[in-house]
Structures are given as structure tokens and as C-alpha cells.
């Protein structure tokens, strides 16, 4: 038995405290992004209440940016919802990665925890679970506390939105910067990079040809399908070649 084990038992922080401590970098990241979103939303005609409601119910920054921009230019509800679905579909993978670690969590708590699965909370929780000493309570604390900070910072941004001249501080660029960073997080291997390049080029071509946002789904699905085919060819090749 090592000393660290004994110490851990003596002053083990509560699961809640551990979660909050781990989530701290997420809070810091959410402040500028949330504020930028709130400001942009306010300048597009939405109230702090609208913003708070969306942030609480959806809790997905990139899709919220896109939705506000689409709604402000008159897009219909179904295209906003469809685009939201595609943009947020990646959470499916994150939850799938978390699922093995959450075997003995009550269904009710799982449902609450699910609400807070985001790129950022997933990165933190997945890392902690992989290290070995994380609990569903701490994961829940991470998820829900970051949701609270998100709601607060977006509403705060919406409140001060009218004070900020449009285009000041490069706020309009926050979404692009966020996407670039999220893309970087996804480039885990060569297949991801190739798929991304293919998808991007295809999307540009389609966007010039087809009006609306359908090009996003079409380009992504084609690129991902091509990438998957390439991967399975590779697998078969390795299996046969030995």
C-alpha cells in the first residue's frame, strides 16, 4: 500500500468538489465563447430570456451559433432543426465512449448526465475515467456545472450585447475559431485528416452549386462514407497480408 493511497482516503475530496475542480478549464473556455454568442444573439434580435432558454435546453455552442444566424436570416424551423441534428451528431460517439464507464448509474441520473455531454465535458470525463478514479457523480458535476456556466455567460453576453458595437472585438469570428479548434481535436489520425479535406472541398463545391445548408450533410456523409470504405479496405488488406 502506498502513502498516496492512505492520503487519498484521509482527505478525499467529495465527488462534487472533484468534478468542479476538473471542470474549471471548461468554465474559463466558456466565458469568451458564451459571451460572444450572447452578444451576437442579442444583436440578431434575441432577448436574454431567449438565449438562456436555448442554452439551457440545447447546451451545444456550435449549433446555437448556427441556429441564431439561420433564424436571423429567415430560415425555417425544419432546416434549423435538421442542421442542428447533423452538427451535434458527434455527441453520439462521445456518449458511446463514456457508456462503458457508467454501467452502474441509475437511469434517472444517466438521463440527467446525458444532457451535459459536450466536446469539453467529454474530454475531461473521458480522460479522468481512463486514468481510473472517476465516478458518475463527478462526471455529473462536470456536466451540470459547465451547463450552468454556459447559460450564465450566454445570458450575460445577451445583456451587454446592446452596449457593444457590431463587429467590435472580432466577435463575429468566435464561431469560426471555435470550429477550427474543434476540427483540430478531431484530427486524431490520417484518415480523419483525409476525410476532413475531402469533406471541406466537396462542401465548398456543393455550396457554390446548391443554395441553403444541405451541402453540409451531403458533403459530410459522402466524405465519411469514402473514409470508411478506405478504412475497411485497409483492414482487409492487413488481415489478408498478415
Partner 1 sequence: MREGLPREDKNVHPKLTKDGMVSLDFFSVVLGMAVVTYLPRWAPLAVLARRRLPSWLLDGLDLIPAAVLSALVLPELVTSGEPRHLVILEPKLLVAIPTFFFALKTRSLGGTVVVGMGLYWAADKLL
- Within residues 132-191, the interface with partner 1 by CB under 8 A covers 162, 165-174, 176-187, 191
Please, are residues 38 and 65 in contact by the beta-carbon 8 Å criterion? no
Q: Residue 19: CB partners within 8 Å, gap ≥ 6? A: 137, 138, 139, 140, 141, 142, 145
Q: Which of 40, 147, 151, 223 binds partner 1 (CB under 8 A)?
A: 223
CB of 132 to partner 1, least distance (A): 19
Round to whole Å and give the CA distance between 24 and 149: 10
> 3-state DSSP call for residue 73?
coil
- CA angle, corner 178, sides to 187 and 33, nearest 5? 145
Task: Tell me the per-residue interface mask from 66 to 95 with partner 1, x by CB under 8 A, - otherwise.
Answer: xx---xxxx--x--xx--xxxxxxxxxxxx
CB of 137 to partner 1, least distance (A): 15
Q: Does 119 engage in binding with partner 1 (CB under 8 A)?
A: yes
CB of 4 to partner 1, least distance (A): 28
Site for partner 1 (CB under 8 A): how many residues? 111
Which ranges of 89-135 would DSSP assign to H, the alpha helix? 91-98, 107-115, 119-131
CB of 242 to partner 1, least distance (A): 19
Closer to partner 1 at the Cβ: 132 or 211? 211
Of 23-62, which residues contact partner 1 (CB under 8 A)? 25, 28-33, 36, 43-47, 49-50, 53-54, 57-60, 62
Closer to partner 1 at the Cβ: 8 or 168? 168
| Binding span for partner 1 by CB under 8 A among 5-13, 16-24, 112-120, 144-152 | 112-120
> 3-state DSSP call for residue 45?
coil
CB of 134 to partner 1, least distance (A): 15
Q: CB atoms < 10 A from the CB of 131, how many?
A: 8
Q: Which of 23, 113, 124, 158 binds partner 1 (CB under 8 A)?
A: 113
- CA angle, corner 149, sides to 77 and 89, nearest 5? 40
User: CA torsion angle for 13, 17, 19, 23 (degrees, to 10)?
Assistant: -130
Amino acid at each position: 500500500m502506498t502513502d498516496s493511497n492512505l492520503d487519498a482516503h484521509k482527505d478525499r475530496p467529495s465527488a462534487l468538489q472533484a468534478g468542479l475542480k476538473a471542470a474549471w478549464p471548461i468554465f474559463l473556455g466558456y466565458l469568451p465563447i458564451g459571451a460572444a454568442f450572447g452578444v451576437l444573439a442579442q444583436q440578431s434580435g434575441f432577448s436574454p430570456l431567449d438565449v438562456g432558454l436555448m442554452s439551457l435546453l440545447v447546451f451545444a455552442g456550435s449549433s446555437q451559433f448556427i441556429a441564431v444566424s439561420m433564424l436571423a436570416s429567415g430560415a425555417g424551423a425544419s432546416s434549423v432543426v435538421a442542421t442542428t441534428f447533423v452538427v451535434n451528431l458527434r455527441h453520439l460517439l462521445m456518449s458511446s465512449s463514456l457508456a462503458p464507464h457508467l454501467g452502474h448509474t441509475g437511469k434517472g441520473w444517466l438521463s440527467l448526465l446525458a444532457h451535459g455531454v459536450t466536446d469539453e465535458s467529454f474530454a475531461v470525463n473521458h480522460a479522468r475515467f481512463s486514468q481510473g478514479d472517476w465516478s458518475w457523480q463527478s462526471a455529473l458535476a462536470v456536466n451540470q456545472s459547465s451547463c450552468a456556466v454556459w447559460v450564465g455567460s450566454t445570458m450575460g453576453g445577451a445583456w451587454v450585447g446592446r452596449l457593444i458595437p457590431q463587429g467590435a472585438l472580432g466577435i463575429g469570428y468566435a464561431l469560426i475559431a471555435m470550429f477550427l479548434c474543434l476540427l483540430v481535436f478531431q484530427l486524431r489520425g490520417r484518415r480523419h485528416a483525409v476525410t476532413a479535406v475531402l469533406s471541406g472541398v466537396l462542401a465548398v463545391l456543393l455550396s457554390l452549386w446548391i443554395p441553403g445548408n444541405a451541402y453540409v450533410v451531403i458533403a459530410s456523409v459522402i466524405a465519411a462514407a469514402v473514409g470508411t470504405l478506405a478504412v475497411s479496405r485497409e483492414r482487409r488488406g492487413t488481415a489478408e497480408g498478415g
